[in-house]
Amino acid sequence: MTGATAKLPKLQIPKDEEAQRRIEEASELARDGDLKAAQKILKEAIASGLFPKPLQREVLAWWSAGQYDLLKDVPKVTPQTVANPERSVAKNEDDEMEAQVVKIMKERQMSRKEACQYIDEGGLEMEQMRAEMNAPMDQAFEDMKNKGPPQWFIDSMTKVQEEAKAKEEGYTAGSENPEAPAGAPMALGPAGAPVALGPS
């Protein structure tokens, strides 16, 4: 699906050939601009019980978005699917699951076991939800990463580096300890004869 059709409601098209034929006929009329006749066909199909009323709203939403080919994703009914519909549905689900596992394995460099665990834990649903949600902060962070650090940060880091370099140069060019004041070294105590402890 493209971005425009991603927000449209999911179509619950019935598997009945007659219902699909009616939807296709109504869609052709809508594409040609005859919405009144197209809606009439949908209402008649609902009245006859071919499909439920919510489907009419879904179809109208797709038509209003300019999407008239509603049956392109619907699997065609074949003699094999008529004979064993559960098997064909299960096979389609297995094929979709296998495709998802392979996709995750390739994209994330995961083993098959890790990819299956990721899917079972809801990783794909979370990705889909994040993609559908409006995430302005994600875009802001991406912009910040692309632009690099702000100028004030670069200036302050340059200043700190220059001060450290000046301090280091002062240390190597001057005395052994640049922070000690110049002059005679101070002793810890008064110089002279040792004082005896105790009575004399």
Give me the pLDDT at residue 163, please: 93
Q: Give the pLDDT confidence of 112-161 residue by residue, as tens digits.
A: 888 888 878 888 778 777 777 766 677 788 888 898 888 899 999 999 99
pLDDT of residue 155: 94
Across the range 174-195, mean pLDDT stands at 54
Model pLDDT, residue 116? 83
Instruction: Output the CA torsion sign for 90, 99, 11, 83.
Output: negative
Angle between helices 112-120 and 85-108 (to 10 degrees): 110
- Give the model's confidence band at 162: pLDDT under 50 very low, under 70 low, under 90 confident, else very high: very high
Q: Which amino acid is at 55?
A: L
Q: Could you tell me the pTM of the whole model?
A: 0.35
Residue 1 near residue 73 (C-beta atoms within 8 A): no
Mean pLDDT of the chain: 75
Distance of CA 15 to the CA centre of its chain: 33
Calculate mean pLDDT across residues 26-43: 84
Q: Is the confidence at residue 13, as pLDDT, over 90?
A: no
What pLDDT does residue 199 have?
65
Mutual orientation of helices 85-108 and 123-132 as an angle, nearest 10°? 80
* Higher pLDDT pick, 65 / 160: 160
Reply yes or no on whether the pLDDT at 176 is more than 80.
no
Q: How many Cβ atoms are within 10 Å of 185's Cβ, its own excluded?
A: 5
Under DSSP, is residue 2 helix (H, G, I), strand (E, B) or coil? coil
Work out the average pLDDT over 165-177. 70
Span 21-38, mean pLDDT? 85
Averaged pLDDT for residues 28-40: 84
171 CB-side CA count, 13 A: 8
The two tokens of residue 6 are 């991603």
* CB-CB contact of 50 with 19 (8 Å): yes
Q: What is the DSSP string of 67-80?
A: ---TTTTSPPP-HH
Q: Which of 23-27, 36-40, 124-128 has the lowest mean pLDDT?
A: 124-128
